[in-house]
Structure 1
Amino acid sequence: MNTSATVTLAALNAAAPEEAVRMLDGIYEHSPWIARQALAGSPFGSLAALKHAMVQAVRAAPRQARLDLILAHPDLAGKAMEDGALTTESTIEQTKAGLTACSPEELAHIRSLNREYRQRFGFPFILAVRGPRGDGQSKQAILAAFERRLHNHPDFEFEEALRNIHRIAEIRLNDRFGYTPEDGNAVWDWQERLAEHSEPGYAEQGQLTVTYLTDAHRAAAQRIADWMRESGFDDVAIDAVGNVVGRYHGQQPDAPWLLTGSHYDTVRNGGKYDGRLGIFVPLAAVRRLHRAGRRLPFGIELVAFAEEEGQRYNATFIGSGALTGSFDENWLEQPDAEGITMREAMQHAGLPIADIPKLRRDPAGYLGYIEVHIEQGPVLSALDLPLGVVTSINGSLRYRGEVIGTASHAGTTPMASRHDAATAVAEWMLFAEQRARADGDSVATVGMLQVPNGSVNVIPGRCQFSLDVRAPSNAQRDALAADLLAELQAIGARRGVRAEIAEIMRASAAPSAPQWQGRWEQAVASLGLPVHRMPSGAGHDAMKLHEIMPQAMLFVRGENAGISHNPLESSTSDDMQLAVDAFSHVLEDLAVHPLPTADRQEKP
Structure 2
Amino acid sequence: MTSLSDLNASSPAHFVEQLHGVYELSPWIAQRAASRRPFASVTALKTALQQVLAQASPEEQLGLIRAHPELAGKAAIAGQLTAESTREQAKSGLHLCSAEEFATLQRLNSDYKARFGFPFILAVKGPTGQGLTRQDIIATFTRRLKNRRADELAESLRQIKRIAELRLNDLLDVRLPFGPAIMQQVETLAGWSDSGYNLTCAYLTAAHQKTVAQLAAWMKDAGMQVQIDAVGNVVGRYLSDAPDAKTLITGSHYDTVRNGGKYDGRLGIVLPIAVVRHLHERGEKLPFHLEIVGFAEEEGVRFKSTFLGSTAVTGHFDLALLNQYDSEGVSMRDALAAAGHDARQIAAIARKPQDLLGFVEVHIEQGPVLLERDLPLGVVTAIAGSSRYLLKLTGVASHAGTTPMTMRRDAASAAAEIIMLVEQRCSQGEALVGTVGQLQVPNGSVNVIAGACQLSLDIRAASDTVRQAAVDDILDGIAAICARRQIDVETELLLSANAAPCAPWLMAQLESAVAAVDIAPYALLSGAGHDAMAMAAITDVAMLFVRCGNGGISHNPLETMTADDADIAAQALLHLLRHFRGDGV
- Scaled to the shorter chain, the TM-score interval is over 0.9
Q: Are residue 502 (structure 1) and residue 498 (structure 2) matched?
A: no
Alignment-mate amino acid for residue 8 of structure 2: N
Q: Name whichever of 324-333 and 179-188 sits farther off.
A: 324-333
Alignment-mate amino acid for residue 22 of structure 2: I
Q: Are residue 6 (structure 1) and residue 2 (structure 2) matched?
A: yes
Unaligned runs of at least 5 residues, structure 1: none
Report matched runs for 1:65-80 at 5 Å: 65-80=60-75
Match of 1:445 in 2: 435
| Distance change (3 Å), C-alpha of 1:283 and 1:25 | same
Report matched runs for 1:353-372 at 5 Å: 353-372=343-362
Match of 2:312 among 297, 305, 322: 322
Deviations 1:49-85 (A, max 9, x none): 2222222222222322222211111011111111111
Match of 1:566 in 2: 556
Alignment-mate amino acid for residue 127 of structure 1: L
| Distance change (3 Å), C-alpha of 1:441 and 1:53 | farther
| Distance change (3 Å), C-alpha of 1:410 and 1:468 | farther
How far 1:256 moved relative to its partner?
0.8
Deviations 1:274-311 (A, max 9, x none): 11000011111111111111111101111111111122
Alignment-mate amino acid for residue 534 of structure 1: L
Asked if 2 retains the 8 angstrom alpha-carbon contact of 1:393 and 1:511, the reply is yes
Report matched runs for 1:270-419 at 5 Å: 270-401=260-391
Asked if 2 retains the 8 angstrom alpha-carbon contact of 1:7 and 1:23, the reply is no
Q: Name whichever of 56-65 and 383-392 sits farther off.
A: 56-65
Q: CA RMSD in A?
A: 2.7
Asked if 2 retains the 8 angstrom alpha-carbon contact of 1:446 and 1:467, the reply is yes
SS of residue in 1 equivalent to 2:579: helix
How far 1:228 moved relative to its partner?
0.9
How far 1:385 moved relative to its partner?
1.5
TM-score (norm 1): 0.89
How far 1:544 moved relative to its partner?
1.0
Q: Are residue 51 (structure 1) and residue 46 (structure 2) matched?
A: yes
TM-score (norm 2): 0.92
Match of 1:595 in 2: 582
Match of 1:117 in 2: 112
SS of residue in 2 equivalent to 1:132: coil
Deviations 1:510-566 (A, max 9, x none): 110111111111111222222221111111111111111110111111121121111
Q: Please give the alpha-carbon distance, in whole angstroms, between the structure 1 residues aligned to 2:192 and 2:478.
A: 46
| Distance change (3 Å), C-alpha of 1:541 and 1:121 | same
Match of 1:213 in 2: 204
Q: Percent identity?
A: 51
Alignment-mate amino acid for residue 148 of structure 1: R
Match of 1:520 in 2: 510
Q: Please give the alpha-carbon distance, in whole angstroms, between the structure 2 residues aligned to 1:375 and 1:457.
A: 44
Deviations 1:163-199 (A, max 9, x none): 2111111101111221122201110111111222223
Match of 2:26 in 1: 31
Asked if 2 retains the 8 angstrom alpha-carbon contact of 1:488 and 1:499, the reply is no
Q: Please give the alpha-carbon distance, in whole angstroms, between the structure 1 residues aligned to 2:341 and 2:405.
A: 65
Asked if 1 retains the 8 angstrom alpha-carbon contact of 2:208 and 2:255, the reply is yes
Asked if 2 retains the 8 angstrom alpha-carbon contact of 1:410 and 1:459, the reply is no
Q: Name whichever of 253-262 and 109-118 sits farther off.
A: 109-118
Alignment-mate amino acid for residue 218 of structure 2: W
Report matched runs for 1:439-588 at 5 Å: 439-449=429-439, 465-488=455-478, 500=489, 502=491, 504=493, 505-588=495-578
Deviations 1:238-262 (A, max 9, x none): 1111111111111224211111111
How far 1:153 moved relative to its partner?
2.8
Asked if 1 retains the 8 angstrom alpha-carbon contact of 2:357 and 2:583, the reply is no
Deviations 1:396-435 (A, max 9, x none): 11234467889898899688x9997766665554454344
How far 1:367 moved relative to its partner?
0.3
Asked if 1 retains the 8 angstrom alpha-carbon contact of 2:432 and 2:461, the reply is yes
Asked if 2 retains the 8 angstrom alpha-carbon contact of 1:473 and 1:511, the reply is no
Q: Name whichever of 305-314 and 54-63 sits farther off.
A: 54-63
Asked if 1 retains the 8 angstrom alpha-carbon contact of 2:409 and 2:487, the reply is no
Deviations 1:371-394 (A, max 9, x none): 001111222222222111111111
Match of 1:228 in 2: 219
Q: Please give the alpha-carbon distance, in whole angstroms, between the structure 2 residues aligned to 1:333 and 1:457.
A: 40
Report matched runs for 1:112-151 at 5 Å: 112-151=107-146
Deviations 1:79-118 (A, max 9, x none): 1111111111101111111112333343223222212222
SS of residue in 1 equivalent to 2:431: coil
How far 1:452 moved relative to its partner?
6.9
| Distance change (3 Å), C-alpha of 1:115 and 1:219 | same
Alignment-mate amino acid for residue 93 of structure 2: G
Q: Please give the alpha-carbon distance, in whole angstroms, between the structure 2 residues aligned to 1:517 and 1:574.
A: 23
How far 1:451 moved relative to its partner?
6.1
| Distance change (3 Å), C-alpha of 1:460 and 1:226 | closer
Q: Please give the alpha-carbon distance, in whole angstroms, between the structure 2 residues aligned to 1:343 and 1:453.
A: 32
Alignment-mate amino acid for residue 41 of structure 1: R
How far 1:440 moved relative to its partner?
2.4
How far 1:226 moved relative to its partner?
1.0
Residues paired across the two proteins, number: 583
Q: Please give the alpha-carbon distance, in whole angstroms, between the structure 1 residues aligned to 2:117 and 2:45.
A: 30
SS of residue in 1 equivalent to 2:89: helix
| Distance change (3 Å), C-alpha of 1:521 and 1:345 | same
| Distance change (3 Å), C-alpha of 1:421 and 1:138 | closer
Asked if 1 retains the 8 angstrom alpha-carbon contact of 2:392 and 2:491, the reply is no
SS of residue in 2 equivalent to 1:444: strand
